[in-house]
Amino acid sequence: MSAADPDSAFTFISQGAIIQEFKVAGHNIVQSFPEARFYKSHNNAYLGETIGRTTNRVRGAELRNLNGRNYKLAINDGGNHNSLHGGSQGWGRKDFEGPKPVNRNGREGVQFRYVSRDGEENYPGTVECLVWYTAGMEDGKTVLEVEYQIELIGDECEETVVGATNHSYFQVNPGAPTTEGTVVTLGTNEYLELDANQIPTGQISVFPTVPAPREAFTLSTTEPAIDDCFVMDREAPKSCPLDTRFLPLKTLATISHPNTGLHLEIQSTEPAFQLYTGDGLYIPEAETDKGVKIPSRGKRSGIAIEPSRYVDCAGREEWRRMCKIRKGQLWGARSVYRAWKD
């Protein structure tokens, strides 16, 4: 899909509605594989995937007091005993219908659709997920808009929990082994404090190694090491609508690199975002059908910025209104990625 510039284009694949390429001035700024098959065999890092049916972690891999009962989920978060990114076979592992060409909001785009059946990964209810990607150019910048919509379409239960985001790893110094030298600004320096199992305690604090909002900091090969949920809206547990698409966009983060002059700005209607500096990232080597070897990529070879609701909102009953849907309700979210080269 083109953004009306031959050097700025996008490629998506049906598995997980994955973003395979995000090209800016001829540079692909997402970590990816050149062939779709590697996303099934080599992608434990969730490169480019649509995360769902819930995002991030669910405490203790259990949903309590939903439909008057408890649901055990897959434990797939290392030694933390949580459920991560929708379970062992989350939406990033599923084949979506699409890409279907569409014109949405006056822009060229594609639509993906996935129906998650009742009981998949032990989540209740059959839900439909629609993903739209639309592309364009604005003031010389390459723009990708991502929109999610989830609806409970089955009659198996009264309510369920849902969420979706994209798990791309960005690298604005393409070809470099790490993100060293990447300049980052965040729209907030407040985050959800975590317990020893990577689950929020409920406290919101200032992150100790991140400066004030919109003040720049630079990534080294080791610091700062971040895998945390940053809060854009402190009142979200009380006021966040199920469908945030019609809320104003807020700038979550910007990243750039002086060696390339490449910039990326991420905006979203979501009340939080997970920032992961990739300290546990490992992408194994691969070989294409033509015998071309793709070297392995290691820690901090990309940075993930995932717009979302609060971590564990599906498991934490006092936060669940952010992600619990009933028949006739829509869960929705919208994010916009703007990239350019100096």
Q: What is the pLDDT of residue 251?
A: 98
> What is the DSSP secondary-structure string of 49-93?
PEE-SS-SEEGGGEEEEETTEEEE----SGGG--EETTSTT-GGG
Q: Residue 326: pLDDT above 70?
A: yes
Q: What is the pLDDT of residue 76?
A: 97
Mean pLDDT for 266-271 is: 98
| Residue 40 per-residue DSSP state | H
Instruction: Calculate the average pLDDT of the chain.
Output: 96
Q: What is the pLDDT of residue 5?
A: 66
Q: What is the pLDDT of residue 2?
A: 63
Q: With CA atoms as reference, report the closest residue to 269 among 183, 200, 335.
A: 335
Mean pLDDT for 56-74 is: 98
Mean pLDDT for 197-216 is: 97
Q: What is the pLDDT of residue 30?
A: 98
The pLDDT tens digits of the residues spanning 222-250 come to 999 999 999 999 999 999 999 999 999 99
Q: Residue 61: pLDDT above 70?
A: yes
Mean pLDDT for 298-311 is: 98
pLDDT grade for 60, boundaries at 50, 70 and 90: very high
CB 212 within 8 A of CB 332: no
Residue type present at position 202: G
Proportion of the chain above pLDDT 90, given as a percent: 96
CB 325 within 8 A of CB 242: yes
| Residue 245 per-residue DSSP state | T
Q: Where are the alpha helices (DSSP H) in 182-295?
A: 236-239
Q: How far apart are CA 83 and CA 243, in angstroms?
A: 24
Q: What is the pLDDT of residue 106?
A: 87
Q: Residue 3: pLDDT above 70?
A: no
Q: Is 137 left (phi over 0), alpha (psi -120 to 50) or beta?
A: beta
Q: Where are the alpha helices (DSSP H) in 204-272?
A: 236-239
The pLDDT tens digits of the residues spanning 135-181 come to 999 999 999 999 999 999 999 999 999 999 999 999 999 999 999 99
Q: How far apart are CA 195 and CA 14, in angstroms?
A: 36
Which residues lie closer than 8 Å to 28 by C-beta, 6 or more apart? 21, 22, 174
Q: Residue 130: pLDDT above 90?
A: yes
Q: Name the pTM for this structure.
A: 0.97
Mean pLDDT for 73-97 is: 97
Proportion of the chain above pLDDT 70, given as a percent: 98
